[in-house]
Every structure is written in structure tokens, then in C-alpha cells.
Amino acid sequence: MKKTALITGILGQDGPYLAKLLLEKDYKVYGLIRRYSNPNFENLEFLGISDRIEYVSGDMTDEASLINIIKLTQPTEVYNLAAQSFVGSSWDQSKLTTEVNSLGVLYILNAIKLFSPLTKFYQASTSEMFGNSSNEGIQTEETSFHPRSPYAIAKLYAYWMTINFKESYGLFCANGILFNHESPIRGKEFVTRKISDGVAKIKLGLSDKIRLGNIDSKRDWGFAGNYVEAMWLMLQQEKADNYIVSTGESHSIKNFLEIAFDHVGISDWEKHVTIDPNFKRPAELHVLQGKSDKAKNVLKWIPKVKFEELVKMMVDADLQRLR
């Protein structure tokens, strides 16, 4: 029988890459979308798959809609990627962030428990849950959590609820603890895409400056197209478990800027960057660097795209779009 998957967050960054992967594996893919007067299918179109998804209408904050969708689709696998995913906005919209990122996950888990208990569930957990706590500077699955934003706190609730449904009801529920992952279809408010778009505009004479906040923080940045493979692998195991997905390398935003500007032949990047306190956060997370040995050993997953390659890929894609 053909496998079926429901992807929430299908219009975001990871949803389209995951959908493409599943379509290549001959899945029928349902994508949950919110009701819009004018929905944006740009990311799915970028990957050429917008007409190959079966769209279902619902919202993570509307429990009945999720129940109906699970009842109707009875998917083999659910990938819960929907979220208010921007850390920066989570201080201003903490209630909404909690409703979508915490309660929404509870609703969908309950719907699976009641109406489709054989469905395997993937929860998009995040390295943000670690905060600044780390084990010798690198985070593993054993590192303690100390979330430092409403986003991370809401995601930690969902992480534990996912584990609780596995332990309480025997459902197949896995958490992917993914470190930052980027691509040409990353949202423009995230720092990597803001820089790649800004650099492309400066190169083409459409702009002169990029306004940024704290450029000293470091992240473990990988390529989204590669990270969705790990999501799928987690649901193909005999037992559900939690896995870190990361590259193991950490780079500062300054490093990202240097490579991005250098790639378009601009060496004096400092001239084009203005530090704007409006983009600084009430609580910062200084360094994220993840050890993905468990994913490597159990899932046979490895990071495939190096940092420099990722930066150049993003800048090139923005140059092409703007041209």
C-alpha cells in the first residue's frame, strides 16, 4: 500500500524539502494549510512540487480541524513542522507562540491517539531548548535544557508531550532536535537569509546597508534539504527516539557576513553593516554546536553541505532571484 504523510507547516522552509523527498519515495503527501485570502505557495513552487500536494485546511490552534484531518487522512506518518518559528517574535507574541508551538502539538497528539493510533509522529524540536547550557561547549542528547525565549519554552513543552504520548500510550513519537538549518527558501527575517538577500541587493546596487543585531553569536548551520532526510529516517526505525541533527561546527554571524560578501567580491563588509539595537534580543543564546553522533550511528545520517557551500548557495540564489 502507498504510504501517506501529513505535513504541517508545508508552506514554510522545511515542509517543501520534506514533501519533495517523500514524493520521490512515492508517498501521497497531504499538506496542512491555514485559511488565507491569498496563500503563498512560493517555496513549493521553487522546488517545483506545488501541484503534487493534497492540501487540507486547518490550523494548529483549532483542535477540531486537526481531529477532522487526522480522521480523514489516517496518515502513515505525521511530520509536525508548523510553528511560530521565529525566536525574535516570540517575546512580542508569546501567547500565540504557546498556542501554536505547545497546545497545537497536544491537539494533534490527542487526535492521533483517538483516531489513528498506528500513525507515526515526528515533532520538530529545536536546539533552542538547550539555551546556553552545554556539555564542554557542545550539545548532545544528554545536555540539560535551559530555554531562554518563549519560543524555546513552548517547544520544550511539545518535546516532553511527544515523549509522554510515547510512554503513556505506546504511540510512535519521535523528536528531532534540529540545529539551525537554512536554504534559499529560508524566511527572510532569519539572519542567514537576511544577509544573503542583503548582500545580493548591495552587489546589484539596490541597497547599501544591512541592519543587524548581535553579530557575535554562533550557530551550527546546516542545509535544510539534507536535514529533512533525518526526519524521515527517524520514522523508519523500529523504535521511536530523540535525535540531534547538526553539523558539529559552529560559526559566528561575522563569519557568515565575511563569506557572503567575499563571494560577491566585496572585502570591506563592515562598511555595509549597521548594528541596530532593535534587532538585539532580551535574552541571547551565545553558542550552539551539536553533536549528531547518535543520528550518524543509528540513522546512518550525515551532514552533507559544508558551511561555506551553504552561504554561497544562498547568496547565489538571491542574486538570481533579484536579477
Pick the closer one to ligand NDP by CB: 40 or 274.
Answer: 40
Residue numbers at the binding site for ligand GDP (CB under 6 A): 87-88, 180, 189-192, 194, 212-215, 217, 219, 253, 279, 281, 284-285
Nearest CA-CA partner of 69 in 24, 110, 21, 11: 110
Please give the grid coordinates belonging to residue 228.
Answer: 529533512
d(CA 246, CA 260): 21
Least distance from ligand NDP to the Cβ atom of residue 278, Å = 21
Query: For residues 209-220, b (16+ Cβ closer than 10 Å) or e, as one string?
Result: ebebbbbebbbb
- Residue 29 binding partner per list ligand GDP, ligand NDP, none, with a CB distance cut-off of 5 to 8 Å that depends on partner kind: none
- Our answer to whether residue 27 is catalytic in this structure is no
196 versus 203: smaller Cβ distance to ligand NDP: 196
Q: Which is nearer to ligand NDP, 32 or 295 (CB)?
A: 32
CB contact at 8 A, 192 and 184: no
- Nearest residue (CB) to ligand NDP, 5 versus 202: 5
Nearest to 123 by CA among 69, 170, 74, 166: 166
d(CA 251, CA 55): 38
Rounded to whole angstroms, the Cα distance separating 300 from 264 reads 36
In angstroms, give the least distance from the CB of 217 to ligand GDP.
Answer: 3
146: partner contacted, choices ligand GDP, ligand NDP, none (Cβ within 5-8 A by kind): none
* Site residues for ligand NDP per CB under 6 A: 8-9, 11-15, 32, 34, 59-61, 81-85, 100, 124, 126, 178, 180-181, 187
Partner from ligand NDP, ligand GDP, none binding residue 88, C-beta < 5-8 Å depending on class: ligand GDP
Q: d(Cα 27, Cα 53) in Å, to the nearest integer?
A: 10
Q: Out of 128, 162, 192, 227, which one is annotated catalytic?
A: 128
Q: List the catalytic residue out of 8, 97, 126, 247.
A: 126
- Of the pair 7, 199, the CB lying nearest ligand NDP is at 7
128: annotated active-site residue: yes
Active site residue 30: no
SS3 content of the chain, % helix, strand, coil (to 5): 45, 15, 40
Amino acid letter, 214 = N
Partner from ligand GDP, ligand NDP, none binding residue 181, C-beta < 5-8 Å depending on class: ligand NDP
Shortest distance (Å) from residue 216 CB to ligand GDP: 8
293's contact among ligand GDP, ligand NDP, none, with CB below 5 to 8 A by partner kind, is none
Identify which of 163, 101, 107 has the alpha carbon closest to the alpha carbon of residue 128: 101
Say how many residues make up the chain. 323
Comparing CB distances to ligand NDP, the nearer of 197 and 203 is 197
Residue entry with cell 532580551:
282
Task: List helix spans (H) across 204-251.
Answer: 224-234
Beta strand pairing call for 173-178 and 242-245? parallel
> Which partner in ligand GDP, ligand NDP, none is near 83 (CB below 5 to 8 A by kind)?
ligand NDP
Q: Active-site positions?
A: 126, 128, 151
